[in-house]
Structure 1
Amino acid sequence: MIMESKSYSYILIFFLHIFLAHFLIHTTANIPAIIVFGDSSVDAGNNNHVPTIARSNFGPYGRDFAGGRPTGRFCNGRIATDFISEGVGLRPVVPAYLDPAYNMSDFSVGVTFASAGTGYDNATSDVLGVIPMWKELEYYKEYRSRLREHVGDFRALSTLVNALYVVSMGTNDFLENYYSTFSQRRMQYTVDEYEDFLIRLARNFVVEIHSLGAHKISLGGLPPMGCMPLERTQNIANGNECMETYNVVAESFNQKLEAMVGELNRDIPGLQLVFSNPYYVLRQIVDNPASYGFEVSERACCATGRFEMGFTCDERNPMTCRDANKYVFWDAFHPSEQTNRIVAQHLLNTSLHKFLIT
């Protein structure tokens, strides 16, 4: 009888939480927090606390950030999620969960679990020894418990069901893993099969975070990764133009992601999943930089701008540009702050707009 009573109580609590989540998400119009998962595109410094070479906690990274300090963002200043946070009425930066300079008061309105160099595939995070996707999820579970302790059960539930969740990864799965010199994945899968493998992992990830409270989720697509200066450097035979074979893969993968988003929205009641595609706006910027106020798109600001990223982007190199706002790319792999600003505004005006309507 005691066991039956406990089971009944657990079931009652479970359905009460479902009811509260449904009630809260339909009665609260604002976004109380932004919660981020992903790679270097959205890492604000978690890798500073991981034994990896995939770090950017030194100059000239961060030279245009507040105070001119390197934070671990792979940029001269702020990244896209910082601008998105500001755009939805929250703080102008989203702090890294592992950064001891911040506490739960900060994390209660914005936090990123992202790790530069990671991907959907666990084998991708192994390449540089960074935080795998499953570990980001474990940090989120820990965060949920800490949030309840910090603000109480009801307010924590309200924050979790109304927060904007941003997921941005996938580029490393292809460039650092599948297309690497000694890739095991390329021996296991054709590129089409590998895309499908990643889609399954992305789907499982979305389903998992939804089961843990996420309702408003932005799933990011791949950029035109063949137009990164790092890839253009290797395309000598075609005059260092964009490597279109990689861009074709990015477009194909994005189409599959978008289709998966539609399927999940049909299959899961209450889910508000959107596909945030940076591909076309970034391609337009690369192809027509002057239209967006840029002067250079084929190489990056940092040093020669061809191959530098991480420790090869060094403040002692006199070749680093003076004004990063003139460059589409900051280093050979990552956009400049100004590009991040434009992409974030594009996403706020398109895929994320539904979350801003009151």
Structure 2
Amino acid sequence: MDLSYYCTTSQFKYAVLAVTTTASYLILLGSAGKVPGVIVFGDSSVDAGNNNQISTVLKSNFRPYGRDFFGGRPTGRFSNGRIPPDFISEALGLRPFVPAYLDPQFNISDFAAGVCFASAGTGFDNATSNVLNVIPLWQELEYYKEYQKKLVAYAGEQKAKDIINESLYIISVGTNDFLENYYTLPRTRSKYKSIVQFQDFLIGMAEKFVRELHGLGARKMSLTGLPPMGCLPLERARNYVNGNGDGCFDGYNVVALHFNQKLNGLAEKMNGELEGIRVVFSNPYDVFMDIVKKPSQFGFDVASVACCATGVFEMGYLCDQMNPFTCSDASKYVFWDSFHPTQKTSSIVVDYMMKHSLHEFL
């Protein structure tokens, strides 16, 4: 495996050590602490590069994406650098990044310490993944089943069982179901007569997913809530006339708040019904809103537009490194592109979640 794919600087040695030894230590010495790995399902908020390997226009494996990642190389993460699972993995004493399952640079010896199945553009609803031809959530689960078989062959049945049972499962999905499905596709709005009906449908799909994961051996899970969707630069631009004084569109933010309440209720329900499980609700909404409303308190200069290009509508292929408007220092911006936070924002959000929900797994 060519690890220069990720690193060319002094961080190269760190990442080489992390990737080549973590899995080996797990096999030789047992689990590293209480959580031996981080296993990720979801959308672009947590996709480490799986979309690179599928036929879709929703990709980010080119500059300026990844310019602040190890070695400055784009990996398919929708960020200038690392994304939340990377920071969570590091906070748990594991590697500083979680590799994508479909990335040919990695194999099962790497995935034993954590793996990402997420696909940018997907959702709980299969119709969401169809919009941009990305990996549906059910297929992410099929990849996970395949991973389990490889893990048993690599580590042995007992070690594989320990990793499967004790790893932290991150589920971060839902934003696309609303912004790219319900509010975009007339057929979805005609099928679900109210946003509440659609929310309840999504919660039902989330419950089904959690139950399936539990049946496959997962015991430690984090259900990640939605951010203030109405404050994303793209949605600010789309709904400019409906925005409030701070530029955010309150309608979408209210939907996010209500959906988060339902996700929190689902976590409590699963803890009461499924044996041996511990599900936490990780809520990024409040800290994200604080960052957007008071950016200077977190060391940011700009919260209304993104770093890439004009910062208003660019994402994916529209995020062109040659655009003269792209900012030189992403750490001054809350958002990297019109839909996704910068590495710095993700770090702050993860720090908040580690203190308020994920600390249970330390």
Structure-2-length-normalised TM-score: 0.89
**Pairing partner for 1:176 from 180, 194, 209:** 180
The aligned counterpart of 1:17 is: none
Q: Who is 2:171 aligned against?
A: 167
Letter in 1 for 2:312: R
Specify the alignment match of 1:154 in structure 2: 158
Task: Find the aligned partners of 2:240 and 2:136 in 1 and give their Cα distance.
Answer: 33
Q: Which letter does structure 2 place at the counterpart of 1:123? A: A
Q: Deviations over 1:327-353 (max 9, x none)?
A: 000000000000000011111111101
Q: Is the 8 A contact 2:246 2:293 kept in 1?
A: no
- Please tell me whether the aligned partners of residues 234 and 240 of structure 1 are also in contact (alpha carbons under 8 angstroms): no
1:241-320 superposed matches below 5 A: 241-320=247-326
Matched, 1:348 2:347: no
The SS at the match of 2:248 is coil
Alignment of 1:28-47 (within 5 A): 30-47=34-51
Amino acid at match of 1:146: K
CA distance in 2 between counterparts of 1:236 and 1:111 reads 39
Superposed, 1:70-219 pairs within 5 Å as 70-180=74-184, 182-189=185-192, 190-219=194-223
Q: CA deviation at 1:28?
A: 8.9
SS at match of 1:184: helix
Identity of aligned residues (%): 58
Q: Which residue of 1 aligns with 2:327?
A: 321
- Which whole-Å deviations, capped at 9, do the CAs of 1:295-333 have from their partners, x for residues lacking one? 100000001000000011011111100000000000000
Please state whether the residue corresponding to 1:148 is helix, strand or coil: helix
Q: State the Cα distance separating 1:235 from its structure 2 match.
A: 2.6
Equivalent residue letter for 1:185: T
State the Cα RMSD in Å: 1.2
Q: How many residues align?
A: 329
Shift, 1:183, TM fit: 2.8
In 1, Cα distance between the equivalents of 2:154 and 2:69? Answer: 29
The one-letter code sitting in structure 1 at the alignment partner of 2:232 is M
In 2: Cα distance, 1:53 partner to 1:150 partner? 34
Question: Is the CA contact (8 Å cut-off) linking 1:47 and 1:72 kept in structure 2?
Answer: yes
Task: Give the Å deviation of 1:240.
Answer: 7.6
- Whichever residue aligns with residue 325 of structure 1, its letter is S
Matched residues in 2 for 1:253 and 1:236: separation? 23
CA displacement 1:215-264 (0-9 Å, x = unmatched): 00001111101000000112322478101100000000000110111111
User: Could you tell me which amino acid in structure 1 is paired with residue 34 of structure 2?
Assistant: N
CA separation in 2, counterparts of 1:351 and 1:338? 20
Q: Any gaps of 5 or more consecutive residues in structure 1?
A: 1-26
Kindly indicate whether the alpha-carbon contact (under 8 Å) linking 2:49 and 2:100 is maintained by their aligned counterparts in 1. yes
CA distance in 2, matches of 1:183, 1:256: 24
Distance 2:289 2:47 in 1: 22
Question: What are structure 2's unaligned runs of at least 5 residues?
Answer: 1-30
* Regions of 4+ moved over 2 Å: none
AA matched with 1:187: S
- The letter for the 2-side match of 1:345 is D
1:228 and 1:73 mapped to 2: Cα distance?
18
Q: Which amino acid aligns with 2:281?
A: F
Specify whether residues 293 and 48 from structure 1 end up closer, same or farther in structure 2 by C-alpha distance, changes over 3 A only. Answer: same
Q: Which amino acid aligns with 1:289?
A: P
Report the 3-state secondary structure (helix = DSSP H, G, I; strand = E; otherwise coil) of the residue aligned with 2:196: helix
Max Rg structure: 1
Partners of 1:333 and 1:28 lie apart in 2 by 35
2: CA distance between counterparts of 1:213 and 1:183? 38
> 1:86-134: CA deviations, max 9, x gaps?
0000000100000000111110001000000000000000000000000
Distance 2:32 2:134 in 1: 36
Q: Secondary structure at the match of 2:186?
A: coil
SS of 1:274's partner is: strand
Residue 18 of structure 2 is matched in structure 1 by none
Q: Is the 8 A contact 1:309 1:332 kept in 2?
A: yes
Report the TM-score when normalising by structure 1: 0.90
Deviation at 1:41, TM superposition (A): 0.4
Per mean C-alpha deviation after superposition, the further-off stretch among 238-247 and 163-172 is 238-247
- Distance apart, 1:29 and its partner CA: 5.3
Structure-2 residue corresponding to 1:223: 227
Task: Provide closer, same or farther for how the CA distance between residues 48 and 241 of structure 1 changes in structure 2, counting only shifts above 3 A.
Answer: same
Kindly report which structure 2 residues correspond to 1:56-67, keeping only aligned pairs within 5 A, or say none.
56-67=60-71
Does the CA contact (< 8 Å) of 1:328 and 1:338 recur in 2?
yes
